[in-house]
Structure 1
Amino acid sequence: MFKNELSSEDLLRIIFKYTAKIASERSLNSVLVFMADMGREMILSDRCTVWLIDVVSEQLYTTVAHGVDEIRIPLGTGLVGSAIATGEPIIIEDAYSDPRHNSDNDRKTGYHTKSIITVPFRNNDGEIIGAYQAINKLTEIGYFTSRDLEMLTLAASYAGKSLESVMLHQEIIDTQREIIFTMGEIGEIRSTETGNHVKRVAEYSYILARGLGLSATEAEMLRTASPMHDIGKVAIPDAVLNKPGKLTPSEYEIIKSHTKIGYQLLKGSKRELLRAAAIVAEQHHEKWDGTGYPLGRKGEDIHIYGRITAVADVFDALSAERVYKAAWPLDKIENLFREERGRHFDPAIVDVFFEKLPKLLEVRGQLTDKETD
């Protein structure tokens, strides 16, 4: 069914709608989706794809393409590769009459490409970082015009610069995550744990958080922060931390101090991720009934991050084999969680634990501790 060309008022409405969404968004994938939707609506195309340059692999790729999954092609190939290489937009009325059109994707998807418009977009330094590509005009004329080129070029000019800002923000977040994970591993290595312990606790925490109804953003925050739960152990003497026998009361107090130490290390940060890590470090040994440490918080006075990490950490500690203990069988672990529901652990999280247990076990199987020589 053909559509009528948009009026100036309609175009302005679309531009204002999507520029507001893009300006307030920090998720790279969400921005790419908004860009694709804005382009498609502005020029009335059937599909719109946002292509980015992968410099390392020398490929062009898209994670946002209406109707298809991720596509990767060699840099410089296809119409999009040609537009990026020359820096010039391309309009084609009949794709199959142009030798630059890569018809392999059509054969894979069963989709028939007719008309194409491709517009490179640049960052604030004027460097090309990707391109818009719209396919199949939905008006009666059936192909893209100079007006479409003008509109998509306008969208590319704004979106390209906004995209660079989001990509830089994402790079900062990724760097923070890498630092947090590495620091978490350091804390575990000192206590004879393995790097996979923090990986498993992170994944368990994410699964439990989503099962409880936390948003994907908040669950991801916890997954990133939870590897820091034992970072305070870096300040615990080896003689106490790795003592093979039973701890004396004074030694146990020293061990317990790792929660306060971890919190003190992290609490002053202005970064949201590190503030979340501070909460996890301090509160993952608190208990639902108030008998935990360091402050004896009770029930919902314990932050949800601490309550979730407590379940994830204990599950992994009991499941894993160590030089000083054997792994508990699953039925024994299940019995403990039933007994400690409403005592050590938040009842709602224990219920989600049992609901998500098959997925937790799948993660455990994927992230096993490999013996080293």
Structure 2
Amino acid sequence: MPHYKVLIVDDSKTVHTELKSILSEINFESEDLEIEQAYGYEDFRKIFVPEKYALVMTDLVMEKDDSGIEVINHIRHICNDSRTRIVLMTANPEKIPPDLLTRDYDINAYIDKNKTSDFMTKLTVISMLKTYKDICSLEKAMTSLEKIVKEAPEMNLSELLINAFFQIRTFLSLRDSKLNITSEIFVNGERIFPPKNIRVENHYLPNQYNYKINIKHNAVKFSLYTSRDLKAFESAYVNSLLKNIESAFVQKEGFDVEDEFVLMISKLVEARSEETGEHVNRVSEIAKFLAQLSGHSSRDVKLIHGAAALHDIGKVGIPDYILNKPAKLDDKEFAIMKEHTLIGFELLRNSSLKIFQLGAVIALEHHERWDGTGYPYGLEGEQITLESRIVQIADVFEALTQDRCYRPPWPLEKAIEYMNDMKGKQFDPWLIELFNKHLREFVQIVQDKQDEEAN
């Protein structure tokens, strides 16, 4: 049975016929799409089931000029379905509500029926399915990670290690869906996975990586076989996960994942962007130092260091063509990009792990501004959590001083001038004063991280 379901909502039978013909030619992840149809908002409301569909493609003007907006509102705010991707289609762009680009509609793509081609429609649909798949994979990986970390001391050792392998495979596949990866797991020299009665043939995978830990006085050897070389940070992620499992058995009560491990997770997600997976390293280090200066305890500084790395995790739900566009985004593209704050919050908010709970707040608020002109909710001043204000300064300063796909890095003097021009506008004035007092150290953090990456 097809895994990817698409719901077309349009009052034109001709449009349904044309779209079905186009979508029938798409084969995604070796599966044909399953297509369902609704002929207006009321028809849609009768058949829609939350999180059943990978994609809903809705016309704007149907029974009413804003029927498409009613469809979107029903999905996002009545059903609280943040996973399903939504494409808004219209042949009447003049009827698009004027606040569409500024309000929290959470639309993931637009199709102008007057200008699109079959090819562009296919590209849009495939892009939406990719982001849907990535969001589902990340949600699954986060849930699995939390289960492993929180329940490790009570879990059967074999079950725990096998779950760890599937966790690793899911996370590494976020960056590279074509990566083929298998595993052999040994406890005290005896293979527990795959089961001993199954013949293992890993010779077709050219790369082998071995990791060793000790759990409850058991010597564990974790072997991975991969179709390509693992990047240094991918291998570091595997090692960090296994070390976190090892630590969970020792500490047991009140254990939370290490900030360095969260950094590895964030780099895996960030590497999907053409900016660089090292962005999270630099932002986390700047945020850590600013948190120290602002009087946070050493424990909270450590928490902020890790949670800061999660600020852009919602970009997993942003299409590649927007994420890596080598030019300024237009208004509609920017409206889609802004949704990464809400996506990140939704991905993390239900976690029982403190570092993810703080990460959810930072993901949501790191584009809010001191003067209230930010997004997604226009919070101002101290309505924005202090941790989010800290990460915003770290994020902006790092971004200005680094190369991006849409512009070269700014000269250091220009970046510092911008930070001060935005004091009391974009940034917390008190934090900018701390930034200025310790400017040399902040610059050194960026330069040191650049030197590390170059080496």
Give the TM-score band, short-chain normalised: 0.5 to 0.7
Shift of 1:250: 1.4
Distance in structure 1 (CA, Å) of the matches to 2:420 and 2:330: 29
- TM-score, normalised on structure 2? 0.44
Q: 1:301 aligns with which of 364, 373, 383?
A: 383
Partner of 2:221: none
| Equivalent AA in structure 2 for residue 349 of structure 1 | L
Q: 1:286 aligns with which of 356, 368, 376?
A: 368
Partner of 1:68: none
Distance in structure 2 (CA, Å) of the matches to 1:263 and 1:245: 27
Shift of 1:189: 1.6
Partner of 1:363: 445
Q: 2:352 aligns with which of 259, 270, 290?
A: 270
| Equivalent AA in structure 2 for residue 276 of structure 1 | L
> Is the contact between residue 235 and residue 261 of structure 1 (CA under 8 Å) also seen in structure 2?
yes
> Is the contact between residue 186 and residue 231 of structure 1 (CA under 8 Å) also seen in structure 2?
no
> Is the contact between residue 248 and residue 255 of structure 2 (CA under 8 Å) also seen in structure 1?
no
| Equivalent AA in structure 2 for residue 168 of structure 1 | Q
Q: Deviations over 1:99-128 (max 9, x none)?
A: xxxxxxxxxxxxxxxxxxxxxxxxxx899x
Partner of 1:241: 323
> Is the contact between residue 263 and residue 281 of structure 1 (CA under 8 Å) also seen in structure 2?
yes
Partner of 2:52: none
* Secondary structure of 1:327's aligned partner: coil
- TM-score, normalised on structure 1? 0.53
Shift of 1:184: 1.3
| Residue 226, structure 1, aligned to residue 291, structure 2 | no
| Residue 351, structure 1, aligned to residue 437, structure 2 | no
* Secondary structure of 1:190's aligned partner: coil
Partner of 1:316: 398
Partner of 2:251: 168
> Is the contact between residue 187 and residue 232 of structure 1 (CA under 8 Å) also seen in structure 2?
no
Greater helix fraction, Structure 1 or Structure 2: 1
Q: 1:333 aligns with which of 370, 392, 415?
A: 415
Distance in structure 1 (CA, Å) of the matches to 2:442 and 2:412: 12
Shift of 1:186: 2.8
Matches within 5 A, 1:171-190: 172-173=255-256, 175-190=257-272
Aligned Cα RMSD in Å? Answer: 2.5
> Is the contact between residue 236 and residue 255 of structure 1 (CA under 8 Å) also seen in structure 2?
yes
| Equivalent AA in structure 1 for residue 363 of structure 2 | A
| Residue 197, structure 1, aligned to residue 279, structure 2 | yes
Shift of 1:193: 2.0
| Equivalent AA in structure 2 for residue 185 of structure 1 | K
Distance in structure 2 (CA, Å) of the matches to 1:331 and 1:337: 10
1:219–1:247: structure 2 CA closer, same or farther, 3 Å change rule? same
1:170–1:293: structure 2 CA closer, same or farther, 3 Å change rule? same
1:350–1:248: structure 2 CA closer, same or farther, 3 Å change rule? same
Shift of 1:214: 1.4
Distance in structure 1 (CA, Å) of the matches to 2:394 and 2:387: 11
Shift of 1:178: 4.6
Distance in structure 1 (CA, Å) of the matches to 2:260 and 2:275: 19
Q: Deviations over 1:154-179 (max 9, x none)?
A: xxxxxxxxxx9994259953x45354
> Is the contact between residue 232 and residue 261 of structure 1 (CA under 8 Å) also seen in structure 2?
yes
Shift of 1:367: 0.8
Distance in structure 2 (CA, Å) of the matches to 1:316 and 1:126: 44
| Residue 258, structure 1, aligned to residue 340, structure 2 | yes
| Equivalent AA in structure 2 for residue 255 of structure 1 | M
> Is the contact between residue 293 and residue 434 of structure 2 (CA under 8 Å) also seen in structure 1?
yes
Distance in structure 2 (CA, Å) of the matches to 1:310 and 1:169: 34
Distance in structure 1 (CA, Å) of the matches to 2:217 and 2:288: 39
| Equivalent AA in structure 1 for residue 417 of structure 2 | N
> Is the contact between residue 207 and residue 356 of structure 1 (CA under 8 Å) also seen in structure 2?
no
* Secondary structure of 1:280's aligned partner: helix
Distance in structure 2 (CA, Å) of the matches to 1:265 and 1:165: 23
Distance in structure 2 (CA, Å) of the matches to 1:207 and 1:223: 9
Distance in structure 1 (CA, Å) of the matches to 2:217 and 2:311: 43
Give the number of the structure whose alpha-carbon radius of gyration is greater: 1
| Equivalent AA in structure 2 for residue 229 of structure 1 | H
Shift of 1:355: 1.5
> Is the contact between residue 269 and residue 313 of structure 2 (CA under 8 Å) also seen in structure 1?
yes
Partner of 1:215: 297
Distance in structure 2 (CA, Å) of the matches to 1:239 and 1:311: 27
* Secondary structure of 1:228's aligned partner: coil
> Is the contact between residue 210 and residue 216 of structure 1 (CA under 8 Å) also seen in structure 2?
yes
| Equivalent AA in structure 1 for residue 411 of structure 2 | P
If asked which structure has higher relative contact order (CA below 8 Å, sep 6+), I would say: 1
| Equivalent AA in structure 2 for residue 269 of structure 1 | S
* Secondary structure of 2:450's aligned partner: coil
> Is the contact between residue 183 and residue 231 of structure 1 (CA under 8 Å) also seen in structure 2?
no
Q: Deviations over 1:231-281 (max 9, x none)?
A: 000011111111122322111111000000000000001111110110111
Count, aligned residues: 211
> Is the contact between residue 270 and residue 277 of structure 2 (CA under 8 Å) also seen in structure 1?
yes
Shift of 1:188: 2.0
